[in-house]
Amino acid sequence: MHALGFECGFIVIGVSIVAAVLGVTLLQAFTLEIGFFLFFLPYTMFYNWAYDTLREKFLKRRQQRRALAG
């Protein structure tokens, strides 16, 4: 859900910036943003899932080591 909210906010801000910088119409800029969205939304979701999963494993392993040492 976080990734979707971020990407929607990025589209709103990004369309006007892309249109101004590249000198294209809002429709062309929106089309470009949709392309970015289709790439970065799955990327962001996968990255966050992988980070959360790996961090949880790391913290569990550290907690087990401390319990054995302590």
- The Cα–Cα gap between 53 and 19 comes to 38
- The Cα–Cα gap between 38 and 36 comes to 6
pLDDT of residue 52: 97
Could you read off the pLDDT of 8-67 as tens digits, one per residue? 787 888 898 989 999 999 999 999 988 888 898 899 899 999 999 999 999 999 999 999
- Asked whether the predicted pLDDT for residue 7 surpasses 80, the reply is no
| Residue type, position 55, single letter | R
Q: Quick one: tokens of 18?
A: 């892309």
For residue 47, give Cα distances in angstroms to 18, 27, 35, 50, 56: 25, 30, 19, 5, 14
Tell me the whole-structure pTM to 2 decimals: 0.57
